[in-house]
Amino acid sequence: MHISDGVLPTSVAIGSYVAAAVLATWSMRKTRAEDLPKVAVVTASFFVASLVHVSLGPTSVHLLIPGVVGVLLGPSAFLAVALGLFLQSILFQFGGLTALGANSLMMGCPALFAGWLFHAIKGKTLKQHVIAGVVVGASGTALAAVFLALLLFTGGEDFFAVAKLALAAHIPVIIIEGAITGFLVSFLYKVKPELLYLPFTAKGNGPATNDP
Amino acid sequence: MKSIRQLVCGPARTVLVLALLFWLLVPGGLGAQSRSVSHNGSAAIDKPVDCRTLLTVLKEQQRRNQRDFRRLQRELVALKQQLSEPGINEILGGIGYILGLFGVAFYVSARRREKSERQGG
């Protein structure tokens, strides 16, 4: 699920670049210095996850993991997604550089939403956490498909047709992502629960606040 | 000394001569090859060419060429697809970029924090 070069009109490409830059800056200021290694590792996972192909009849779709990124990183998720997509477009020719802003919005906003949603609906018990993880993982991917349709709609495509097509193509991915996120959350809940809480405890001790 | 010279002149020479004869006479050897080439050439000119045989030979050849060509085409397509997929170099390079960029960010933030601490303290 990438938008290629030249699909979007120039105005939309520029506008999405600006919006993505604003969001990335906000995300960077929200990132705490001591979280940087974690953000780096999750970014690398996001970067590599797109290479895990799920073959599906004649076509194949790949993992997107906006849910996982959002759950683990919270507000820093947008930074991770933007950087991962930038390197993907340079090294793998996924999407294009002119569509990078749109692609970042398409993947980053669902990641931010997933983080927020997970924080909102996760309960106290393991079961509630796992359910929240499944919901977040699935809805993150579905939301990315909706964003894709929304962006292509600005390029003159029919919104509902594209949305239907993108959602239908990503049903297996949505299911797999839900399962993966659920497993990950249950594992982390048992092994290192603070990873699931830390992104959302706003201590505000990041590099930005150290500015004189 | 004498015994060595005797050996060279005696049995060794016999063996050399025998080997030379063998090389010239045995069919498939170098001598035989040069002879057979001239023989084939004269046969092609002497005999009248049977068109039907020639046609079957040519057809067979064309069929084989077509098969080879198709195989090459398939290999080309496979190679193209393989080239368009990101390889291990790109993957490791990308991970390296990510870790490196975050390393720089971490370094900068640490320096900044150190500086502000020094100024404050």
Quick: pLDDT tens for B21-39.
667 666 554 544 444 444 5
Interface contact B116-A87, CB threshold 8 A: no
Q: Give the end-to-end CA distance of chain B in Å, rounded to a whole number.
A: 100
pLDDT at A161 over 90: no
Pairwise CA distance, residues A44 & A50, whole Å = 11
How far apart are the CA of B103 and the nearest CA of chain A, in angstroms?
A: 8
Which pLDDT score is estimated for A2? 75
Residues on chain B touching A39 (C-beta within 8 angstroms): 102
Reference A5, options A102, A88, A149, A87; nearest CA is A102
CB-nearest to A91 from B93, B99, B103 is B93
Pairwise CA distance, residues A191 & A186, whole Å = 9
Average pLDDT over residues B107-112: 89
Element (H, E) at A104: helix A100-121
Chain A residue closest in CA terms to B115: A210
Chain B residue closest in CA terms to A48: B91
Pairwise CA distance, residues B15 & A210, whole Å = 96
Rg of chain B taking only CA atoms, in angstroms? 38
- pLDDT, tens digit, for every residue of A120-129? 888 888 899 9
Pairwise CA distance, residues B59 & B54, whole Å = 8
Which amino acid type is present at position B98? I
Which pLDDT score is estimated for A207? 39
- Window 143-202 of A: residues touching B by CB (8 A cutoff) are none
How far apart are the CA of B118 and the nearest CA of chain A, in angstroms?
A: 12
Q: Using DSSP, state whether B121 is helix, strand or coil.
A: coil
Q: How confident is the model at residue A56 (pLDDT cuts 50, 70, 90)?
A: low
pLDDT at A212 over 90: no
pTM: 0.71
Give the helix, strand, coil percentages of chain B, each rounded to 5: 90, 0, 10
Interface contact B94-A33, CB threshold 8 A: no
Which pLDDT score is estimated for B7? 52
Interface contact B109-A210, CB threshold 8 A: yes
Interface contact A36-B102, CB threshold 8 A: yes
How far apart are the CA of A96 and the nearest CA of chain B, in angstroms?
A: 15
Measured CA to CA in angstroms, residue A47 lies from A42, A62, A83, A85 at distances of 8, 12, 9, 7
Please report the number of interchain residue pairs, chain A to chain B, with beta-carbon separation below 8 angstroms.
58
pLDDT at A162 over 90: no
Residues on chain B touching A51 (C-beta within 8 angstroms): 86, 91
Phi, psi of A53 (to 5 degrees): -90, 140
Q: Are A84 and A117 in contact (CB under 8 A)?
A: no
